[in-house]
Amino acid sequence: MHTSTLFRGRRDILFDRLPGRAILLMGHRQVPRNYPANPYPFRQDSTFLYFTGCAVPGAAALLDAEGRHTTLFLPSPDPGDELWHGSVPGAVAIGAAAGADEVAPRDRLSERARALAARRGGALLGLPVCEATSQAELAALVGDGVESGAVTGPSADLADAVISLRNVKDGGEVAEIVATAEVTARAHRAAMAATRPGVREREIAALMDAVFAAAGCAPAYGSIVTVRGEILHGVPGAARLESDRLLLVDAGAESASGYATDVTRTWPVSGRFGDRQRAVYEVVLRAQAAAIARCRSGTRYRDVHLAAARVIAEGLGDLGLLRGDPDRAVEEGAHAMFFPHGVGHLLGLDVHDMEGYGDRAGYPPGRTRSPQFGLSYLRLDRDLEPGTCVTVEPGIYFVPALLHDAAFRRRFRDRVDFAAAEGWLGFGGVRIEDDVIVTSGDPKVPTAAIPKEIAEIEALVGSGPDPGTRLSG
């Protein structure tokens, strides 16, 4: 999907939004583990990818909105590079793929950036950067002028322009997410089929990685594969699965050009939901359906969250865990004792798309995070518009740290039946997560084909070879 025309077109929009400005985009550098030739796996900065498609470590780009001119800066090759790393495309080819007007050696960036800034009012707009970008170099380049926020916070104008572009996915991006969702579906189906007592969480995670790799993809984030579903971002362990547990699997593929998918399914290790497991699962499934149905253009995302919270509060009432009116429980935040996180987030080139810019991406001007427990973890509260891509991922969890917290027990003593909840500790958690693309009509759910109805899951779990057999023949 990526062509030089596409990247030029995106930069043209940026130039229109920031007339006359000088803009610096920094790629990530390779971060060594102990010595330079032994680096951590490299992943390019997503905004840099969005505007250039250039995945070369240490690259940077200088954009002159006045002259509508882009210079791509690339590290100069070392004489031994071809010996150790093989041949790579030359600078001219990389520049052409990015649609750059000029390619220059990376060690000229500082001098060229300062000269351009001097011609464009003295300021160089930059973005907040992560550890894998050279903070010191960016600080030196942007200096202490008006836009020094580039180091300690976003350059507001540039961050807003980038966010407004990346927030609305075009047809090519949607097609890429849809294709990647098919890979994620394959991995989840393989994981379900391979699950049985005695298999290790890590084996399931490795099997999913292998399915991603076979399709030219990588994991979009560290896969969560755990029977301790109440640990929201738990990591896969080496323990063998026991038959009475639920396995929570939150794993998604990333496409070759960087688009993420983010999917959670929860299934019984034995292949049969127990009565309590089924009861909780059905509530979460209903909550997810209600929330996905609200993902329509013009809806405020907080209302998507509250739609899920309302169904969960009602279900927790039926399970004897919450008392009284479900609407009041949601208003007071009592449901968050069991559904403590937000219902989802933006998705795109990053799994939590643009969260590196803080709440500026998830919360538009005039909206800020609620301090209320539960809502305080809601990462997104924009009005949805066609092309916005989000996740919808309600869950119910039995978290000892919450249920035993003295302040919560006081605050919710009339709402939560803590004695009943005690009898659920050790259950773990259920989360069901799909990716949703907002359209001018019905929401599009590219991950919908991944089994989530109880009958489909029960038919699939344990129906194929275990991970070891499947991976080693």
Residues of the shown chain interacting with Mn ion in the complex, contacts defined by CB under 5 A: 250, 262, 391, 433
Q: What are the percentages of helix, strand and coil residues in the chain, rounded to 5?
A: 40, 15, 45
- How far apart (Å, rounded) are the C-alpha atoms in residues 410 and 23? 52
* Distances in whole angstroms, Cα of residue 166 to Cα of each of 60, 95, 390, 391, 464: 19, 22, 12, 16, 40
Using CB under 6 A as the binding rule, whether residue 203 contacts ligand GLY is answered as no
DSSP secondary structure letters along 137-159: HHHHHHTTSTTTHHHHS--HHHH
From residue 326 to residue 365, what is the string marking binding to ligand GLY with x (rule CB under 6 A)?
A: -------------------------x--------------
Shortest CB 396 distance to ligand GLY, Å: 15
Least separation, in Å, of the C-beta of 264 and ligand GLY? 6
Q: Per rule CB under 6 A, is residue 250 in the interface with ligand GLY?
A: yes
The strand pair at 246-250 and 224-226 is best described as: antiparallel
Minimum CB–partner distance for residue 48 and ligand GLY (Å): 22
Q: Tell whether residue 434 is a contact of ligand GLY (CB under 6 A).
A: no
CA distances from 235 to 53, 205, 427 (A): 31, 10, 17
Q: What is the nearest approach in angstroms of ligand GLY to the Cβ of residue 263?
A: 8
Tell me whether residue 212 or residue 412 sits nearer to Mn ion (CB atom).
Answer: 212
Q: How far apart are CB 281 and Mn ion at their closest, in Å?
A: 17
CB of 470 closer than 8 Å to CB of 459: no
Q: SS3 of 267, please?
A: strand
Give the nearer residue to Mn ion in terms of CB position, either 234 or 326: 234
> Is the CB of 233 or the CB of 328 nearer to Mn ion?
233
Nearest residue (CB) to Mn ion, 160 versus 350: 350
Shortest spacing between CB 89 and ligand GLY, in angstroms: 33
* # residues near ligand GLY by CB under 6 A: 6
Find the shortest distance in angstroms from Cβ 198 to ligand GLY. 26
Least distance in angstroms from the C-beta of 188 to Mn ion: 12
Query: Is residue 221 close enough to count as binding ligand GLY by CB under 6 A?
Result: yes
Q: Quick one: 262 or 314, whose CB is closer to ligand GLY? A: 262
* Residue that has been written with the tokens 């640990």 in this structure: 231
User: Using CB under 6 A, which of 203, 254, 262, 350 touches ligand GLY?
Assistant: 262
Q: Closest separation between CB of residue 262 and ligand GLY, Å?
A: 5
Q: Print the binding letters for residues 123-162 with ligand GLY: x by CB under 6 A, - otherwise.
A: ----------------------------------------
Q: Which is nearer to ligand GLY, 127 or 351 (CB)?
A: 351
With CB under 6 A as the contact rule, the residue among 45, 64, 393, 458 that binds ligand GLY is 393
Nearer to ligand GLY, 123 or 295 (CB): 295
CA 359 from centroid of its chain's CA atoms: 14
Q: How buried is residue 445: exposed, middle or buried, by Cβ count under 10 Å (0-12/13-18/19+)?
A: middle
Decide: is 435 part of the binding site for ligand GLY (CB under 6 A).
no
Q: Residues 251, 187: contact at Cβ < 8 Å?
A: yes
Q: Which residues contact 52 (CB under 8 A, 6 or more apart)?
A: 7, 25, 27, 59, 61, 70, 72, 98, 100
Closest to ligand GLY by CB, 182 vs 355, is 355
Non-local CB neighbours of 258 within 8 Å, separated by 6+ positions? 43, 44, 46, 49, 349
Q: Are 141 and 110 in contact (CB under 8 A)?
A: yes
- The dihedral through the CA atoms of 202, 203, 208, 214 has a sign that is positive
Residue 147 site contact among Mn ion, ligand GLY, none (CB < 5 to 8 Å, cut-off depends on kind): none
Distance CA 254, CA 266 (A): 21
Q: Which residues in this chain contact ligand GLY in the complex, by CB under 6 A?
A: 221, 250, 262, 351, 393, 433
